């Protein structure tokens, strides 16, 4: 423990993509700052993901403006380790003041002077401002319905790395967003009998008429949606860059050998119950998919673009047996299921940030990352300013806005009237 006190204008907590972006913008604006990271730069990309993960967007899109993935083709999907190396190289590029291996324990507002006192694993820091750049993947969530059964191996998707770590036998994957879909696919290809529990989801085309869906969301203005549509808080997005990037197709997964089931409802005495919503969830995902194709076609026609037609994109496989006659109950032992993977998302954890800027659910109250507690900021959260906030490039633009707010506040405080000059 270091007894020396450090004083800094702005402290950034976390050195993932949000912390690195924040540091770049603060550096450009001449704001003295320090970035603390309890592990390594971009640690969540290194160890908080499964081994085969690639980014969900192509490298021409999923990057910061100041550095390209020069060793990859523009339409490639970077591996998780390549993404981590990218952020490390980016931080080195502008000599970001990052200290790794330092854990922030507590942040409290000073009562007798401006700013905050920050307790860390390496001493105390005084800062005028604090930026929480720890991201949304802080606490893996396994819902309370999880069975209390020691004979079943249960892990969150954050603890899944590869098929070899699981015991022999079948697997139930709960959650069919990007993580659940890719994990289920990988396990089935490795020879596992996989049941995939499918809830409400969006299912955009990976690409359509020679353009990636990231491009389509851009030109159609969908990245700029400022608020999530009401009632869609639990709608996941099923998109993948795996194996060169392919549209997620639940009927295709079923044809491949994955057994689809509805939303997981409960466990009781070794029996799991599913809601009777599988066909409805699949149909709603199809409607979302087709709506983007329609919007893309209309955009091409309206702008006279010369992009090849792709009628085969509208072809749908017939409903598999597991959709036509859905399984509503399953005895785990009888089905040979020995593992459950919970791909059920994350919660934020700001227990270290002891200031008055959180709602009753523990979520930060803010406007585009500027919290209602003066001097406290957030970067790296989904929908921080718009839909694009979840993506690497969106984080960069959000950080730019927050850094600009910090620089403006510093100007106010530096003002001196004529009698003070």
Q: Identify the band that residue 237 occupies on the pLDDT scale cut at 50, 70 and 90.
A: confident
Tokens 């006192």 belong to residue: 117
The pair of three-digit structure tokens given for residue 323, joined into one six-digit string: 């959709």
β-bridge pairing 207-208 and 211-212: antiparallel
Mean pLDDT value across residues 91-95:
97
Q: How far apart (Å, rounded) are the C-alpha atoms in residues 92 and 232?
A: 39
Quote the pLDDT of residue 226: 85
Q: Identify the band that residue 111 occupies on the pLDDT scale cut at 50, 70 and 90.
A: very high
Quote the pLDDT of residue 2: 60
Quote the pLDDT of residue 132: 98
CA 22 to chain CA mean position, Å: 18
Q: Which domains does the chain have, with CATH numbers?
A: 6-138+348-420 (3.50.50.60), 141-342 (3.50.50.60)
Mean pLDDT value across residues 307-316:
97
Q: How far apart (Å, rounded) are the C-alpha atoms in residues 26 and 36?
A: 15
Tokens 């399953």 belong to residue: 330
Q: What is the pTM of this model?
A: 0.94
| pLDDT tens per residue across span 3-36 | 678 999 999 999 999 999 999 999 999 999 999 9
Q: How far apart (Å, rounded) are the C-alpha atoms in residues 402 and 120?
A: 24
Quote the pLDDT of residue 107: 98
Q: Identify the band that residue 234 occupies on the pLDDT scale cut at 50, 70 and 90.
A: confident
Quote the pLDDT of residue 225: 87
- CB within 8 Å of 162: residues ≥ 6 apart: 50, 51, 52, 186
| pLDDT tens per residue across span 253-308 | 999 999 999 999 999 999 999 999 999 999 999 999 999 999 999 999 999 999 99
DSSP H or E stretch at residue 201: strand 201-202
Quote the pLDDT of residue 3: 63
Quote the pLDDT of residue 231: 73
- CB within 8 Å of 189: residues ≥ 6 apart: 256
Tokens 């707010």 belong to residue: 405
β-bridge pairing 123-132 and 376-378: parallel
Mean pLDDT value across residues 222-241:
83
Burial class, 377, CB count within 10 angstroms (exposed 0-12 / middle 13-18 / buried 19+): buried
């Amino acid at each position: 423990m270091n007894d020396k006190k450090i004083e800094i204008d702005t402290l950034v907590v976390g050195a993932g993509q949000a912390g690195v972006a924040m540091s770049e913008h603060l550096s450009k604006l001449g704001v003295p700052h320090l970035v603390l990271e309890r592990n390594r730069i971009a640690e969540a990309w290194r160890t908080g993901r499964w081994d085969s993960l690639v980014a969900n967007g192509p490298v021409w899109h999923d990057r910061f403006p100041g550095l390209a993935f020069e060793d990859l083709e523009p339409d490639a999907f970077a591996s998780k380790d390549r993404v981590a190396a990218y952020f490390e190289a980016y931080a080195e590029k502008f000599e970001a003041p990052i200290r790794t291996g330092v854990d922030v324990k507590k942040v409290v507002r000073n009562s007798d002077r401006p700013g905050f006192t920050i307790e860390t694993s390496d001493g105390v820091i005084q800062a005028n401002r604090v930026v929480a750049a720890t991201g949304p993947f802080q606490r893996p969530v396994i819902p309370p319905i999880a069975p209390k059964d020691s004979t079943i191996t249960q892990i969150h998707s954050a603890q899944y790395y590869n098929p070899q770590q699981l015991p022999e036998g079948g697997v139930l994957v709960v959650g069919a967003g990007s993580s659940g879909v890719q994990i289920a696919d990988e396990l089935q290809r490795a020879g596992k009998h996989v049941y995939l529990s499918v809830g409400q989801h969006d299912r955009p085309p990976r690409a359509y008429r020679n353009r990636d869906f990231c491009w389509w969301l851009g030109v159609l203005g969908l990245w700029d949606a400022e608020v999530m549509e009401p009632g869609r808080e639990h709608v996941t997005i099923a998109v993948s860059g795996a194996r060169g990037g392919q549209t997620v197709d639940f009927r295709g997964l079923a044809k491949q050998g994955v057994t689809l089931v509805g939303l997981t409802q409960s466990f009781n005495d070794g029996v799991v119950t599913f809601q009777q919503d599988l066909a409805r969830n699949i149909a709603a995902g199809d409607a979302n998919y087709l709506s983007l194709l329609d919007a893309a076609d209309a955009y091409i026609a309206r702008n006279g673009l010369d992009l090849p037609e792709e009628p085969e994109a509208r072809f749908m496989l017939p409903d598999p047996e597991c959709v036509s006659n859905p399984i509503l109950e399953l005895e785990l032992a009888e089905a040979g299921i020995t593992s459950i993977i919970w791909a059920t998302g994350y919660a934020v954890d700001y227990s270290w940030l002891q200031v008055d800027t959180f709602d009753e659910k523990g979520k930060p109250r803010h406007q585009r990352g500027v919290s209602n507690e003066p001097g406290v900021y957030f970067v790296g959260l989904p929908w921080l300013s718009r839909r694009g906030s979840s993506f690497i490039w969106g984080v960069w633009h959000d950080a730019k806005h927050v850094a600009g707010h910090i620089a403006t506040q510093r100007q106010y405080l530096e003002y001196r009237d004529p009698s003070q000059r």
